[in-house]
Structure 1
Amino acid sequence: MGLLSEVLLLPLAPVRGAGWVVRQVVSEAERQYYDPSAIQRELGELAEQLDQGLIDETEFDRREDELLDRLEAAQQRRAAAPGGAPSRPYDNGRP
């Protein structure tokens, strides 16, 4: 049955391949979007923009809130992942 289904589904191979590529691109985009080091780097750049007067306090607060929400979501995703990473580096289970 496996060989027969493969032969019958052969015309759909390009579609299945394109679907795989799309899933890989989405996965990599999500990984980069939720990367804590990238978010922290963006927070630093945002603080620099405020210090240089390129943005005002209102814009800074709005964008900072967005980045902090994204950082929190990234931490929740890591905790929910199989074999989730510890919430603190070198966490050995002690309070």
Structure 2
Amino acid sequence: MGLISEVLLLPFAPARGGAWAIRQVLQEAERIYYDPATIRAELARLEELLEAGEITEEEFDTQEDALLDRLETATRTGAGAEDGTAPQ
């Protein structure tokens, strides 16, 4: 019955392929978003902005808290790991 279902679902193949591509893009975006190295680089850039006077202390604190929350989530869940596994 697998062959029959494949033939019947053939008109929907482009939609299934598009959904697969979207899932792949979302997975890569999440991997980058929760990558600890990326988050640390953003924290360093944020500190540079503060030292240059381009942002206020309050803006720094707000953005730093958000980045530290992301880093904690990444560390806790193992998100952003190259092989997709949690650290041991």
TM-score, normalised to structure 1, is 0.83
Higher RCO (CA 8 Å, separation ≥ 6 residues): 2
Cα RMSD for the two superposed structures? 1.7
Aligned to 2:86: 84
Structure 2 runs not aligned, ≥5 long? none
Quote the Cα distance in structure 2 between the aligned partners of 1:84 and 1:18: 29
Structure 1 runs not aligned, ≥5 long? 87-95
Compared with structure 1, are the counterparts of its residues 29 and 83 closer, same or farther at alpha carbon in structure 2 (3 Å cutoff)?
Answer: closer
Runs of 4+ in 1 over 4 A off after TM superposition: none
Aligned to 2:66: 66
Identity %: 58
Quote the Cα distance in structure 2 between the aligned partners of 1:24 and 1:38: 19
3-state SS of 1:65 partner: helix
Residue deviations 1:19-58 (CA, integer Å, cap 9, x gap): 0011001001100100000000000000111111111111
Query: Based on CA coordinates, which of the two structures has the bigger radius of gyration?
Result: 1
TM-score, normalised to structure 2, is 0.89
* Number of aligned residue pairs: 85
